[in-house]
Every structure is written in C-alpha cells, then in structure tokens.
Structure 1
Amino acid sequence: MAETAQDQNYEILTPPDDLRRKVRELTPREAKKFDPIKAAEAALNRLSGHFGSWMINETVTLLRAWETAQTEGMTEETVAPLFQAAHNIKGQALTLGFPLVGRVAASFCHLIETVPSPEKLPLQLTERYVEAIRAMVMEGAKDDDNRTGVELLETLDIVTTDFLKQFSPDTGGNE
C-alpha cells in the first residue's frame, strides 16, 4: 500500500534568510523598461573578463587529475576525477567562450565512458587529450577559426573512433 504524506516522516526546512529582503522591487515604471535578457547579457559581459582564468583553473584541475592517474594507475578512483574535470570543461566551455575546447573535452568524455574499464584507457591517447585541452586553453584556441585546433580535434576523433571499434558489439571485439 502506498504511503500518504501523513504516513511519512518529514521535516520542513525554512531558510535562514528571507531573500525578498535582499532584492529591490521594481516600480511599475521600472518593470515596464526592464529587459531580463539585456540584464543577463550585461552581467555576462561584466563577468567575461574572468572567463579565461576560469578555463585555466578547470584545466589545472584536469592536469592534476591526469598526474594522479599517471602516478597511481588507471583505476576507477583515479579516472573518475579525470572524467569529472573533462566533463566540467565540456559543460562550461561554450559559456566561457571556448567551444572548440568543449568539443575536445566531449570527445575525451566519450572515450572514457565507452571503454569497458579504466585499465583499458590508452595512456598515450589520454595524455593527448589532456595536453590538447591544456594547449588550446593556453593558446586561446576558442573556435573553428583556429585551424590547428580544429585539425587536432579531428585527429583525436579519428584515433578515438578507431580505438573504440575494438569494443563495439558490431565488430565482435568485446574485450
């Protein structure tokens, strides 16, 4: 029998601060003129000066995770932070103005997600991804205008696809 709300133990949490006190209400006249899209774009423009350093910080996290994986070996415990760092870069890259780096990180995440176990991750290819992301962020290779970055992404994609074929059920290589 399904429990009803009365049958369940629960606790109501009240926030310590009433956020309404922290926000100024717009007058009807101000509200008519207020454009939330423009306000968000203006806020984004104010923050955009920090985007490069935020991507550098994400890259440092990726590099540290890679160093740990190299030192301690490719295990669930060492690959998880490596994947998380790449996944964070993938998710933030477009917003932070590095869409090309995001595509490299997405390809790297695909590699990690597709191999059957961390021990099967190829060290050289993993290192190439980490170094590609690092170099592209440091060199400001942000989009498809950077021919070298695009070629690097395409090469990594080809090598990754070829490597992952051995694990595809279609090829019978379920090692």
Structure 2
Amino acid sequence: MSSDFTDDEAYEVVKPPKDLRKKVRIMSPREAKNFDPVKAAETALARLSQNFDGWMVNGSKELHEAYENLAANGINAETVGRLYQAAHNMKGQAATLGYPLVGDVAGSLCYLIEEVPSPSDLPKSLLAQYVDAIRAMVSENARDQQNALGTALLAKLNEVTNDYLSQVRTIG
C-alpha cells in the first residue's frame, strides 16, 4: 500500500484550542463503583424526551419547506438533494424520538429518491404524498404500528413507490 505522503513532506500538528480534560470531573473510586452509565443515559433521555415532539414538528417543517422549494424551483439535483436530506434526517431521528412509523415513511421516501434513474424521473405528486403523510403522522401523533391508519398509509405509499419504480426501470 502506498502512502500519500513522503517522509520529506512538512506537516503541522494542530492543537485544539481547549483541553477538554479540564471539563471532565474525575470520580472518586467510590463514585465510579456506584456509577451506572445506562441508568445515567436513560435519565438524560427522559429529561430530553419532553422536547421530542417539538423536534419532530421541526423536522416535518423542514421536510415541507424542502418540498415547497422543489415545487417552486423545479425538480433538479439541488432541490431533490435538499428534500432527500430532510427525509434522511427524519428517518434517522424518528425511532429515537418515539415515531418509528414516521421513520419508516421517511425511509421509503429516501428509497424512492435513491432508486429513480434521475431526479427528473421523480413524480412530484408522489413526493407531495410522502411529505403530507409525514406531516399528518407527526401532527396526529401516529407513532408506531399500533396506528392502523398510519400503517395502512405506509403500506400504500410503499406499494405505489414499488409499482412506480418497476415501471421506470423497465422504461429506462
């Protein structure tokens, strides 16, 4: 394996501006023995959980804004990229924030965007349906598979997406 650098090249070692070790409190042996990192993480998560709904609302707003940008400026690599990023963020955060069903819908939207041969092949109406579904699920607190309407909506979106992709692939 060759190296990108030769021994003769100059290099610079960059020191971080702050030494983070000064920010950490060292536990006494007794404290360390009684410390339960899982319990501490669960406690922190419980404190943060009061913000989860607001974070999901903000995520759905970002997704909607990305779609509105796409609708106003046309389907191109930039507008689709922004929509994809917003959907991908929701997909990644949804389960942690207590909305796994929304994560599944966002994941299906990401799959659609990833699988079309070109951004111009994306049907704006199907993108709108995904965005509307996610916004509705967040608004109506449709969190998981227990929500029959949300689950049926996901199944239909997946069906339409798969049908559309099979048509586009055979044409292309």
Please give the TM-score of this superposition, normalised by the length of structure 1: 0.93
Structure 2: state its 5+ residue gaps. none
2:145 aligned partner, one-letter code: D
User: Equivalent residue of 2:75, what SS?
Assistant: coil
Does the residue aligned with 1:8 lie in a helix, a strand or coil? coil
After superposition, where does 1:118-157 map in structure 2 within 5 Å? 118-157=119-158
Letter of the structure 2 residue corresponding to residue 26 of structure 1: M
Provide Cα deviations, 1:110-134, integer angstroms capped at 9, x if missing partner.
Answer: 0001111111101111100000000
CA drift at 1:9: 3.3
Is 1:35 matched with 2:21?
no
Identity %: 53
Q: Which residue of structure 2 aligns with residue 159 of structure 1?
A: 160
Distance 2:10 2:60 in 1: 44
1:67 maps to which residue? 68
- CA shift digits 1:78-123 (9 cap, x unpaired): 1100000000000010111100000000000000011111111011
Q: How far off its partner does 1:3 sit?
A: 5.3
For 2:4 and 2:79, how far apart are their aligned partners in 1? 41
Structure 2: how far apart are the matches of 1:4 and 1:45? 48
- How many residues end up aligned between the 2 structures? 171
Structure 1 residue 13, shift from structure 2 partner? 1.4
- Taking the aligned partners of 1:3 and 1:101, their CA distance within structure 2 comes to 44
Q: CA deviation at 1:7?
A: 3.1
Report the Cα distance in structure 2 between the residues aligned to 1:2 and 1:91, rounded to whole angstroms.
Answer: 36
1:77 counterpart residue number:
78
> Residue 48 of structure 2 aligns with which residue?
47
Equivalence for 2:97: 96
Aligned equivalents of 1:136 and 1:29: distance in 2? 47
Residues 13 and 132 from structure 1, CA distance in 2 versus in 1: closer, same or farther, beyond 3 angstroms? same
CA distance in 1, matches of 2:131, 2:4: 50
Matching residue of 2:27: 26
What is the TM-score of this pair, normalised by structure 2?
Answer: 0.95
- C-alpha RMSD over aligned residues: 1.3
Q: How far does residue 147 in structure 1 lie from its aligned partner after superposition?
A: 0.6
Displacement after TM superposition at 1:12 (Å): 1.2
Which runs of 5 or more residues in structure 1 are unaligned? none
* Residues 109, 4 of structure 1: alpha-carbon distance in 2 compared, 3 angstrom cutoff: closer
Counterpart of 1:107 in structure 2: which amino acid?
S
* CA-CA distance at 1:16 after TM superposition: 1.1
Quickly say closer, same or farther: Cα 1:121–1:8, change in 2 above 3 A.
Answer: same
